[in-house]
Amino acid sequence: MAVTVTTMRKMKEAGDKITWLTAYDYSFAALIDNAGIDAILVGDSLGMVMQGHATPVPVTIEHAAYHTECVARGVNNCMIVGDLPFGSYQVSKEQAYENAVKLMQAGAHTIKLEGGELQVETINFLAERGIAVCAHIGLTPQSVHQLGGFKVQGRGDAAQQLLDDARRVQEAGAFAVVLEAVPAALAAQITEKLTIPTIGIGAGVDCDGQVLVLQDMIGIYPHKSPKFCKNFMTGNQSVADAVSQYIAEVKAGTFPADEHSFK
Protein backbone atom coordinates (compact mmCIF):
# COMPACT_ATOMS: atom_id res chain seq x y z
CA MET A 1 0.00 0.00 0.00
CA ALA A 2 1.33 3.43 -0.93
CA VAL A 3 2.86 5.52 1.85
CA THR A 4 1.33 9.00 2.08
CA VAL A 5 1.48 12.08 4.27
CA THR A 6 -1.46 10.66 6.21
CA THR A 7 0.42 7.38 6.71
CA MET A 8 3.35 9.22 8.27
CA ARG A 9 1.13 11.28 10.53
CA LYS A 10 -0.55 8.10 11.80
CA MET A 11 2.86 6.46 12.31
CA LYS A 12 3.94 9.33 14.54
CA GLU A 13 0.70 9.11 16.52
CA ALA A 14 1.20 5.36 16.97
CA GLY A 15 4.88 5.64 17.85
CA ASP A 16 5.94 3.66 14.76
CA LYS A 17 9.35 4.72 13.50
CA ILE A 18 9.51 6.10 9.94
CA THR A 19 12.28 5.01 7.56
CA TRP A 20 13.76 7.13 4.78
CA LEU A 21 16.78 6.60 2.53
CA THR A 22 18.13 8.57 -0.40
CA ALA A 23 18.22 7.15 -3.92
CA TYR A 24 18.96 8.72 -7.28
CA ASP A 25 18.40 5.98 -9.88
CA TYR A 26 15.98 3.28 -10.99
CA SER A 27 17.83 0.19 -9.75
CA PHE A 28 18.51 1.34 -6.19
CA ALA A 29 15.02 2.87 -5.94
CA ALA A 30 13.42 -0.46 -6.86
CA LEU A 31 15.63 -2.34 -4.38
CA ILE A 32 14.90 0.06 -1.53
CA ASP A 33 11.17 0.17 -2.30
CA ASN A 34 10.99 -3.64 -2.36
CA ALA A 35 12.75 -3.75 1.02
CA GLY A 36 9.86 -1.83 2.56
CA ILE A 37 11.26 1.68 3.05
CA ASP A 38 8.66 4.32 3.89
CA ALA A 39 10.15 7.10 1.77
CA ILE A 40 12.92 7.74 -0.74
CA LEU A 41 14.47 11.19 -0.70
CA VAL A 42 15.90 12.21 -4.06
CA GLY A 43 18.30 14.46 -2.22
CA ASP A 44 20.54 17.22 -3.48
CA SER A 45 23.22 15.06 -1.86
CA LEU A 46 23.41 13.68 -5.41
CA GLY A 47 25.79 16.57 -6.05
CA MET A 48 28.31 14.89 -3.76
CA VAL A 49 27.70 11.15 -4.08
CA MET A 50 26.69 11.04 -7.76
CA GLN A 51 28.43 14.07 -9.30
CA GLY A 52 31.54 14.24 -7.12
CA HIS A 53 31.20 17.82 -5.88
CA ALA A 54 32.32 18.91 -2.42
CA THR A 55 28.85 20.30 -1.57
CA PRO A 56 25.32 20.02 -2.98
CA VAL A 57 25.37 23.63 -4.19
CA PRO A 58 26.08 22.87 -7.90
CA VAL A 59 22.93 20.74 -8.28
CA THR A 60 20.32 22.32 -10.58
CA ILE A 61 16.56 21.82 -10.81
CA GLU A 62 17.16 19.98 -14.09
CA HIS A 63 19.49 17.53 -12.33
CA ALA A 64 16.96 17.04 -9.54
CA ALA A 65 14.07 16.45 -11.95
CA TYR A 66 16.10 13.95 -14.00
CA HIS A 67 17.03 11.84 -10.98
CA THR A 68 13.47 12.05 -9.66
CA GLU A 69 12.21 10.63 -12.96
CA CYS A 70 14.69 7.74 -12.68
CA VAL A 71 13.64 6.95 -9.11
CA ALA A 72 9.92 7.18 -9.89
CA ARG A 73 10.23 4.38 -12.46
CA GLY A 74 11.45 2.03 -9.74
CA VAL A 75 8.92 2.82 -7.00
CA ASN A 76 5.56 1.17 -6.36
CA ASN A 77 4.85 1.75 -2.68
CA CYS A 78 7.03 4.27 -0.86
CA MET A 79 6.73 8.05 -0.85
CA ILE A 80 9.10 9.95 -3.14
CA VAL A 81 10.38 13.22 -1.67
CA GLY A 82 11.95 15.57 -4.23
CA ASP A 83 14.62 17.94 -2.91
CA LEU A 84 14.53 21.53 -4.18
CA PRO A 85 18.18 22.41 -4.90
CA PHE A 86 20.08 25.57 -4.05
CA GLY A 87 18.82 28.62 -5.95
CA SER A 88 15.55 26.99 -7.02
CA TYR A 89 13.26 28.44 -4.33
CA GLN A 90 15.03 31.27 -2.47
CA VAL A 91 14.17 34.11 -4.89
CA SER A 92 10.40 34.04 -4.41
CA LYS A 93 7.54 31.79 -3.42
CA GLU A 94 6.44 31.81 -7.06
CA GLN A 95 9.85 30.47 -8.11
CA ALA A 96 9.53 27.77 -5.46
CA TYR A 97 6.12 26.78 -6.79
CA GLU A 98 7.35 26.61 -10.39
CA ASN A 99 10.24 24.32 -9.46
CA ALA A 100 8.20 22.21 -7.05
CA VAL A 101 5.82 21.54 -9.93
CA LYS A 102 8.77 20.36 -12.04
CA LEU A 103 9.74 17.81 -9.39
CA MET A 104 6.17 16.61 -8.95
CA GLN A 105 5.69 16.27 -12.69
CA ALA A 106 8.90 14.20 -12.69
CA GLY A 107 7.35 11.82 -10.16
CA ALA A 108 7.83 13.28 -6.66
CA HIS A 109 4.88 13.00 -4.30
CA THR A 110 6.17 15.68 -1.93
CA ILE A 111 9.03 18.17 -1.89
CA LYS A 112 11.66 19.24 0.64
CA LEU A 113 13.32 22.61 1.12
CA GLU A 114 15.87 23.93 3.57
CA GLY A 115 15.22 26.66 6.09
CA GLY A 116 13.02 27.47 9.04
CA GLU A 117 11.43 30.81 9.81
CA LEU A 118 12.70 32.41 6.58
CA GLN A 119 10.81 29.82 4.50
CA VAL A 120 7.49 30.07 6.33
CA GLU A 121 5.83 32.18 3.64
CA THR A 122 7.03 29.83 0.90
CA ILE A 123 5.90 26.69 2.76
CA ASN A 124 2.48 28.21 3.32
CA PHE A 125 2.22 29.31 -0.34
CA LEU A 126 3.03 25.80 -1.57
CA ALA A 127 0.81 24.04 0.95
CA GLU A 128 -2.16 26.21 0.02
CA ARG A 129 -1.67 25.10 -3.59
CA GLY A 130 -1.73 21.40 -2.86
CA ILE A 131 1.99 20.69 -2.52
CA ALA A 132 3.09 18.71 0.53
CA VAL A 133 6.27 20.25 1.92
CA CYS A 134 8.92 18.79 4.22
CA ALA A 135 11.03 21.46 5.92
CA HIS A 136 14.71 20.96 6.80
CA ILE A 137 16.36 22.71 9.75
CA GLY A 138 19.56 22.39 11.77
CA LEU A 139 22.52 21.78 9.50
CA THR A 140 21.33 22.91 6.08
CA PRO A 141 23.96 21.71 3.56
CA GLN A 142 23.02 24.28 0.92
CA SER A 143 24.19 26.96 3.39
CA VAL A 144 27.40 25.14 4.27
CA HIS A 145 29.63 28.03 3.23
CA GLN A 146 27.67 30.49 5.36
CA LEU A 147 27.68 28.06 8.30
CA GLY A 148 31.45 27.63 8.03
CA GLY A 149 31.34 23.91 7.28
CA PHE A 150 29.35 20.81 8.17
CA LYS A 151 28.88 21.60 11.87
CA VAL A 152 26.39 20.65 14.58
CA GLN A 153 23.63 23.23 14.95
CA GLY A 154 21.41 24.22 17.89
CA ARG A 155 23.86 24.19 20.76
CA GLY A 156 23.64 26.76 23.54
CA ASP A 157 21.62 29.87 22.77
CA ALA A 158 20.89 28.62 19.22
CA ALA A 159 18.60 25.90 20.60
CA GLN A 160 15.68 28.29 21.02
CA GLN A 161 15.94 29.38 17.39
CA LEU A 162 15.62 25.77 16.22
CA LEU A 163 12.62 25.24 18.49
CA ASP A 164 11.03 28.36 17.03
CA ASP A 165 11.88 27.27 13.48
CA ALA A 166 10.27 23.87 14.02
CA ARG A 167 7.10 25.40 15.41
CA ARG A 168 6.87 27.96 12.62
CA VAL A 169 7.27 25.47 9.75
CA GLN A 170 4.58 23.28 11.32
CA GLU A 171 2.23 26.24 11.59
CA ALA A 172 2.98 27.13 7.95
CA GLY A 173 1.72 23.72 6.81
CA ALA A 174 4.81 21.49 6.53
CA PHE A 175 3.89 17.80 6.76
CA ALA A 176 7.28 16.86 8.30
CA VAL A 177 10.62 18.37 9.21
CA VAL A 178 14.13 16.97 8.77
CA LEU A 179 16.46 17.67 11.72
CA GLU A 180 20.10 17.41 10.68
CA ALA A 181 23.15 17.43 12.98
CA VAL A 182 21.18 18.57 16.02
CA PRO A 183 21.95 17.56 19.64
CA ALA A 184 19.88 14.49 20.50
CA ALA A 185 18.25 16.07 23.55
CA LEU A 186 17.12 19.10 21.54
CA ALA A 187 15.77 16.89 18.74
CA ALA A 188 13.80 14.89 21.32
CA GLN A 189 12.35 18.13 22.69
CA ILE A 190 11.33 19.30 19.22
CA THR A 191 9.81 15.91 18.41
CA GLU A 192 7.72 15.98 21.58
CA LYS A 193 6.40 19.48 20.88
CA LEU A 194 5.42 18.93 17.24
CA THR A 195 2.40 17.12 15.86
CA ILE A 196 4.16 16.54 12.51
CA PRO A 197 6.86 13.86 12.14
CA THR A 198 10.52 14.69 12.67
CA ILE A 199 13.01 12.86 10.46
CA GLY A 200 16.47 12.78 11.98
CA ILE A 201 19.89 12.59 10.40
CA GLY A 202 22.44 12.94 13.14
CA ALA A 203 19.69 14.02 15.54
CA GLY A 204 19.38 11.06 17.89
CA VAL A 205 17.06 8.11 18.28
CA ASP A 206 14.06 10.02 19.63
CA CYS A 207 13.06 11.52 16.27
CA ASP A 208 9.96 10.01 14.69
CA GLY A 209 12.04 8.66 11.81
CA GLN A 210 15.52 8.52 10.32
CA VAL A 211 17.13 9.21 6.95
CA LEU A 212 20.60 8.39 5.66
CA VAL A 213 22.39 8.87 2.37
CA LEU A 214 22.45 5.47 0.68
CA GLN A 215 26.10 5.67 -0.37
CA ASP A 216 27.08 6.33 3.25
CA MET A 217 25.04 3.49 4.74
CA ILE A 218 26.45 0.90 2.31
CA GLY A 219 29.99 2.27 2.60
CA ILE A 220 30.71 3.17 -1.03
CA TYR A 221 31.20 6.94 -0.78
CA PRO A 222 34.95 7.44 -1.35
CA HIS A 223 35.33 10.13 1.31
CA LYS A 224 34.83 10.03 5.06
CA SER A 225 31.20 9.71 6.07
CA PRO A 226 29.75 11.81 8.90
CA LYS A 227 29.72 10.59 12.50
CA PHE A 228 25.99 9.93 12.33
CA CYS A 229 26.37 7.29 9.60
CA LYS A 230 26.73 3.53 9.99
CA ASN A 231 27.99 1.08 7.37
CA PHE A 232 25.19 -1.47 7.21
CA MET A 233 27.08 -3.61 4.69
CA THR A 234 29.26 -4.85 7.53
CA GLY A 235 28.19 -8.43 8.17
CA ASN A 236 25.75 -8.48 5.23
CA GLN A 237 26.14 -10.22 1.88
CA SER A 238 24.03 -7.86 -0.24
CA VAL A 239 22.76 -4.30 -0.45
CA ALA A 240 19.23 -5.64 -0.02
CA ASP A 241 20.25 -7.25 3.29
CA ALA A 242 21.93 -4.01 4.42
CA VAL A 243 18.82 -1.96 3.64
CA SER A 244 16.63 -4.49 5.45
CA GLN A 245 18.89 -4.29 8.50
CA TYR A 246 18.74 -0.48 8.43
CA ILE A 247 14.94 -0.57 8.33
CA ALA A 248 14.81 -3.12 11.16
CA GLU A 249 17.18 -1.16 13.40
CA VAL A 250 15.33 2.12 12.88
CA LYS A 251 11.98 0.43 13.55
CA ALA A 252 13.39 -1.18 16.72
CA GLY A 253 14.93 2.08 17.94
CA THR A 254 18.46 0.66 18.02
CA PHE A 255 19.73 3.00 15.30
CA PRO A 256 21.02 5.59 15.74
CA ALA A 257 23.02 4.61 18.80
CA ASP A 258 24.80 7.11 21.06
CA GLU A 259 27.90 6.88 18.89
CA HIS A 260 25.91 8.22 15.91
CA SER A 261 24.43 11.14 17.86
CA PHE A 262 25.53 14.52 19.20
CA LYS A 263 25.30 15.86 22.75
Active site residues: 180
- Quote the CA–CA distance of 80 and 94 in Å, as a whole number: 22
Helices (H) and strands (E) in the chain, counts: 11, 8
* CA distances from residue 174 to 24, 116, 181 in whole angstroms, order as listed: 24, 10, 20
45 is in an annotated binding site: yes
* CA distances from residue 112 to 33, 83, 135, 224, 249 in whole angstroms, order as listed: 19, 5, 6, 25, 25
CB 217 within 8 A of CB 239: no
* Coil, strand or helix at 95: helix
- The partner residues of 198 in beta bridges, in order of sequence, read 177
Single-letter code of the amino acid located at 25 = D
112 is in an annotated binding site: yes
Neighbouring CB atoms inside 10 A of 45's CB total 23
206 is in an annotated binding site: no
44 is in an annotated binding site: yes
Strands (E), the chain: 18-22, 39-42, 79-83, 110-114, 133-138, 176-180, 198-201, 209-212
117 is in an annotated binding site: no
DSSP 115: B
Q: Output the known binding site.
A: 44-45, 83, 112, 114
Q: Output the known binding site for Mg(2+).
A: 44, 83, 114
